[in-house]
Every structure is written in structure tokens, then in C-alpha cells.
Amino acid sequence: MLLHDAVGSPIVKAIAARDRKSKKRHARKFRIVGLENTKSNQKTLTGSEIISVALNTGNPGNLKKLLMGEGWALSEEEVSQDNPMLKQVLSHLTKEDWDFVQLVWDQLELLYEPMNAVHKRTSGLDIGKVEIHEVQTPFGVYKGGYFPLKADPMRSTIADTREIDQKTAAAAGMSATSGTFRPNATTGAKIERIEATYPIKLGLDVIPGHIQEVIHYITHYEAVKSVDKLLRDPEITEAIKATMGVAEYRLFKPWLNDIANAGSNQESQGYFTGPMRRIRFGITMSAMGFKVSTGLMQTLGLSVTIANIGAKNTSKAMLHLYGNPAKTSDAVAVAMEKSKVLVHRMKTMDREMSNAFKALENKSGPLADLQEFSMKHIALIQMYSVDLPTWYGAYFKKMSELEASLDPNDFDTVEALTARAEELSVQAADWAVENFQGSGSIKDQAALMRDNSEYVKMYTMFMTFFSSQGNMTRDITRGSRSGQINPINLAVKFAWLFGVTTAAEMLVREGIPDDEDEWDEFWQQYLVNVAMLPLAAIPLARDVASGAFSGYGYAGSPTAQFVSNSISGVKGFTKSLWEGDEPTLFQVKATTDVVTTMLGVPGTGQGWTTGKAIYDIREDGYDFSVHSLLLGTKKE
């Protein structure tokens, strides 16, 4: 993420900083005389497409592909910056546009050295650098630069063929030999570009995909190759099978392959893929944006930490962080400096939040800013109430264990011993945060949650934490069977993992019961919820169970609920208006949810909770309280 921020953020900021007139020009269509007589068979290009044309003039290879692929040049003699059609297209650019083009070239240049370093370490060879040339413009000479070439799938059959070949090679390469793994960006930077010509994809959306692919190669190639080598070692293979079983061993290859391909930016395609992705994003905004209950629920993750590292280490961590408020900022800064996880945790703590932040990376404007801001409270509460205590608790626990296990005679100096203990403790702390609290990173997700199909994602929404909890349940059970966890510790762990978490969640959501009858209902529902909590990690099973037992909080996947409510609610709303009747609250809510979800308006879930509470208090005599306004009403 640090490399992504260094390379990609200046480009995003440059787009966001452009004035309103320039931004409008990105979408504006410009009439290009004679363009309809070329291969493109169109009369106009948008402002962003014209900027993309400029980006492909910075080196001889791209320039040739552009001109001959678009049919603007019919022979190599016509490949020139003075090409009449090219000059006519570029005449619509301003100096600010050309400055932006050079900025993109300069930022992409930053990727070459680290990419080449990885390739040289692993192959002994340099990648080779694309030759660039100066670009003459009415506003002066620009030095040019590299830009990724991508065939346009809408105008060229070669695009589909190349994509299929790349996907097949990536999958086959990981299963056959780690040495063949190359994210598309690397091959795109190395491949010769003069054999064939084809229409290239025009538009600024090529940029983020390229940056993602190259950075993924830089940061993951060597690690993937090393792990793959370990998994091919016969002794290690047998040890894993003996300890975890053959079925568990077989999960490693698909997991490693998914990590290897994570940077290829390949998402599932289908007739309903786009609308479903938009719906899933909108539901995330509605369910998590400004949602008070979601923020409060994050604090319950601390009980999972206690279940794994114990109350003593967790308490020690809390005292270290918050025992002296004057030193809290220093403790946070130390953890952020040492950890490789915490610094990115705001955007990786949950798959849905991670996907949402990723979708917003290249967007700007008031709505995008509001969407991003609407989820910050969840990430901040998670970080300061759970993640930091978990990190320090695991750190202290590991340090204590190492004091008894590390032999000073194995180290030349005390400093070396201290450094080794520090290194192992930080690794343990990072591991604890991602494994105890869940993570939206590909490497930390279950196989089902890594599936790129929107249909699968529909049934696994908001499962990051529960998936992690399911894995912990399995590990604790396995430890009990093997004798590593005694019955008393087993009971304590499950009490914190399920009992305390469930009770606290019910009290937060529903409030404290007022009388004996309500307490009876509370404990009856509590037992049902505790029994059902382990099913939360199993898609479909959780939905079926929640349908059979009310009060647990699930009633089908969020996407399925949205579609079902939208159809029935909008239909009823339309019918009521047609017949002159007053629409019901459900019909109004379902109709507005359709609009706000498709637009990605954040906070609608909290808005309805608070709005309905105000209505209930005024019209139906419900108790007034802050709890009612933020989390829903409780009848007298």
C-alpha cells in the first residue's frame, strides 16, 4: 500500500485537483472530423479518451500501436507525431491536460526500478526498458514516457484471446512451476510491441489496473515463489499432511494461486455482474455507513482476543495503551512503526470495507468523500478498542514466552538476542490481529470468500469476522482433541468466544430488559443465539437457521433481501399511488432503498433507524432515550 500511495495517489490527487471545467471535459464528447472513416467507425472521442491518446504518444512502440491499430496510419511511413488525424485529436488538449499526461508518465516510471530489481534477483537478467521519445506540443516539449498497452475487448478479438491466455498461463503456471508466475503487468512491460496491431483500449481506467498489477508483482512474486518451493519439498509436504491432514494440505495450492493472481485485476464477468456489484457496494454503504450499531459491535471483538491470548495479556495491553492518557499517542506510534499490518488495517479489516475503499480509490467529489468518511468510524473504533490491544497483548505474550525459550548462548550479543525476540514478537502480534479479528486481505480469506463470482460474494457478505471465528472454533476444538487444550481452558475460551460476545451484542442492540418477563425472553433468545453463532461462518446454513429462529439478526443474504424487498416494496408502492392509497412504511422504505443503494448513498440504514425511532416515540408511546435514537426503539 505504501508503494501504491507513492505511485497512484499523486495521479488521483491531480485528477481531484482539476477545476470543474476540466473535469467536465473528461466526459464531454468532441467531434473529430474524419474519424468515422477509420477503424474506430465513430465520430467522437471523450476528453478522457483523448488524454489516453496522448498518453500513448510517449514512446515509439505505443505510438505505432495507436496509429496503426486505430487505422490512423496505414503504413509505417505514416507513423509520426505529425500524423494528421493524431494532431487533430490532440488539438483538443490544454496545457493542464499535457501536464497531467507527463505526471502519469513520471509516476509509472517509478515502478520500473523496483520491478526490475525483483526480476533481476529471481532471474539474473534485466527486464529491459521501453525507449521513450520527446513529444512536441503547442505548449512546449514533454519528455514522454511509458504507458501500458491493452487491447480494447469491444473492438478487437485479440483482447479476449490475450486475456484467456494470460488467465490460463497464470493458473497453469502456479500449479506447474512457480517460476512461470508473472502478473500481466510484468509481461506487458517486457513484451515486444511491434508484431501485430489492434485497437487499444482508450480511457484513464487502464492506469489503476496497471499500477495494481505491477505493484503486486513487486511485493508478492518472490514470496509466492518461495512458498511454492516449500510446498514442493517432500519432507514439508508430509509434515503438513501428518499434522493437518491431506484435505488441509490441498487447500494450500488454491490459496497460493489466488494470492498470485490477486494483482491481475480479473473480476467475474456476466450479464448481471455490473448491477450486482453496484448493489453490493450500495448495501455496504447503507449497512455500514454512519451505522452506530456496526461501530459499537466492533468493540465485542475484544472478547475473541481474550479467548485466544488470555485476560491477563489483554489487560496488560489496555493498561499500556490507555493507563496513562499522556503516553497513549506514543504507544500507538510505536505499534504503527513496528507493525506491517496496523498501518494498513483501516482499509483491510473487512472484505466489504476493503472492496468499498478500493472502489473509491480512483474517485473524487463530494459523494466519494462522504462515502469514504461514512465508514471511518468503524475502522477507528476497531483500531483503538480492539486491534491495538490485540497487537500489544499478543506482543507481550510472545515476549514472555521467548524469555523462557530463547537461549542466550545461541546469540553473539545481548543486542542480537533482543533483536530476535523483538522480531518474533512483532510477527506474532501482526498474526494475532489478522487471525483473531479477521482480515479483508486475500491471503487471510477463506476459499469461498476469495471467489470472484458476484453470485458467491452475494452469499458471503459481512462474513469476514465470522469466518475468522469459525477457523478459531475449529482450531480450539482440534487442540482439545489432541490434548493441547485442557477442558477448563476449553470452557473459558468458548465462554469468551460465544457466551460473552452474544450477551454483549444482545444488550447493545436491544438494551437492558426492564422486568422479569423480559429477562426470561432475553435468556431464551440468548441460548438460541449462542447455539446459532457457530453457523454464522457457514453461508446458506446461517440464513436457513436465522429463518427458523427469529431474533438472531440474519434473514437471507443482504443482497437477496434487498432484491426481494425491492420487488415487493416498489410494486406495492406503485400500486398504492395508482389506486390513491397511502403507501405503507415498508413500501416507502423499500422504494427509497432502491434509489439510495443504486446511487451508493451512505448512512441510509442509520437514517431509517433514527427516523423510525422518532416516529415511534411521537406516535406510539415508545420510550425516549439515546439508545432508541441510535439503535432503535424499545416499547414500553
In this predicted structure, the answer to whether residue 508 has a pLDDT above a threshold of 90 is no
Return all residues near 156 (Cβ < 8 A) that are at least 6 apart. Answer: 69, 198, 199
Separation CA 563–CA 276 (nearest Å):
10
pLDDT at 177: 34
pLDDT at 160: 46
| Mean pLDDT (whole number) for 514-533 | 89
Q: How confident is the model at residue 306 (pLDDT cuts 50, 70, 90)?
A: very high
pLDDT at 24: 84
- Per-residue pLDDT tens for 90-119? 999 999 999 999 999 999 999 999 999 999
Cβ contact 310:397 at 8 Å: yes
pLDDT at 174: 34
In this predicted structure, the answer to whether residue 483 has a pLDDT above a threshold of 50 is yes
Residue in 149, 381, 170, 154 with CA at minimum distance from that of residue 260: 170
Q: How confident is the model at residue 268 (pLDDT cuts 50, 70, 90)?
A: low
pLDDT at 199: 84
Cβ contact 185:210 at 8 Å: yes
User: 406 in helix, strand or coil?
Assistant: coil
Cβ contact 215:207 at 8 Å: no
92 to 198, 421, 628: CA distances (angstroms): 24, 61, 57
| Mean pLDDT (whole number) for 31-52 | 84
Look at 561 and 349; give whichever has higher pLDDT.
Answer: 349
Look at 195 and 77; give whichever has higher pLDDT.
Answer: 77
pLDDT at 266: 54
In the chain, count H helices and then E strands. 35, 4
Q: How confident is the model at residue 547 (pLDDT cuts 50, 70, 90)?
A: low
Q: How confident is the model at residue 531 (pLDDT cuts 50, 70, 90)?
A: confident
Q: How confident is the model at residue 543 (pLDDT cuts 50, 70, 90)?
A: low
Q: Which has the minimum average pLDDT: 65-69, 194-198, 303-307, 339-343? A: 194-198
- Per-residue pLDDT tens for 572-586? 999 999 999 999 988
Q: How confident is the model at residue 34 (pLDDT cuts 50, 70, 90)?
A: confident
Separation CA 399–CA 309 (nearest Å):
13
Q: What is the 3-class SS of 5-19, one letter each residue?
A: HHHHHHHHHHHHHCC
In this predicted structure, the answer to whether residue 352 has a pLDDT above a threshold of 80 is yes
φ and ψ at residue 44, rounded to 5 degrees? -130, 160
pLDDT at 493: 92
Separation CA 148–CA 162 (nearest Å):
14
Q: How confident is the model at residue 353 (pLDDT cuts 50, 70, 90)?
A: confident
Separation CA 492–CA 128 (nearest Å):
59
Q: How confident is the model at residue 549 (pLDDT cuts 50, 70, 90)?
A: low
In this predicted structure, the answer to whether residue 155 has a pLDDT above a threshold of 80 is no
Cβ contact 467:289 at 8 Å: no
pLDDT at 622: 80
pLDDT at 625: 83
| Mean pLDDT (whole number) for 264-270 | 56
Q: Which has the minimum average pLDDT: 89-93, 166-170, 329-333? A: 166-170
pLDDT at 156: 63
Look at 37 and 368; give whichever has higher pLDDT.
Answer: 368
Q: Which has the minimum average pLDDT: 77-91, 305-319, 608-622? A: 608-622
414 to 258, 400, 406, 424: CA distances (angstroms): 41, 17, 12, 16
- In order, the DSSP letters of 407-472 are -GGGSSSHHHHHHHHHHHHHHHHHHHHHHHH---SGGGS-HHHH---HHHHHHTTT-HHHHHHHHH
pLDDT at 234: 94
Q: How confident is the model at residue 265 (pLDDT cuts 50, 70, 90)?
A: low
Q: How confident is the model at residue 42 (pLDDT cuts 50, 70, 90)?
A: confident
In this predicted structure, the answer to whether residue 456 has a pLDDT above a threshold of 90 is no
Q: How confident is the model at residue 329 (pLDDT cuts 50, 70, 90)?
A: very high
Q: How confident is the model at residue 267 (pLDDT cuts 50, 70, 90)?
A: low
Q: Which has the minimum average pLDDT: 142-151, 264-273, 347-356, 537-546? A: 264-273
Among 41-55, 140-154, 424-438, 541-555, name the most confident range.
424-438
Residue with cell 451484542: 505
Q: Report the chain's mean pLDDT, rounded to a whole number.
A: 85
| Mean pLDDT (whole number) for 54-72 | 93
In this predicted structure, the answer to whether residue 542 has a pLDDT above a threshold of 80 is no
- Per-residue pLDDT tens for 382-405? 999 999 999 999 999 999 999 989
Q: Which residues are paired to 578 by β-bridges?
A: none
Question: Percent of the chain at pLDDT above 70?
Answer: 88
- Per-residue pLDDT tens for 207-259? 988 898 999 999 999 999 999 999 999 999 999 999 888 988 999 999 999 99
pLDDT at 158: 54
In this predicted structure, the answer to whether residue 38 has a pLDDT above a threshold of 80 is no
- Per-residue pLDDT tens for 591-609? 999 999 999 999 999 999 9
In this predicted structure, the answer to whether residue 191 has a pLDDT above a threshold of 50 is no
In this predicted structure, the answer to whether residue 332 has a pLDDT above a threshold of 80 is yes
Q: Which has the minimum average pLDDT: 21-35, 223-237, 332-346, 391-405? A: 21-35
Helix (H) or strand (E) holding 135: strand 135-137
| Mean pLDDT (whole number) for 461-486 | 87
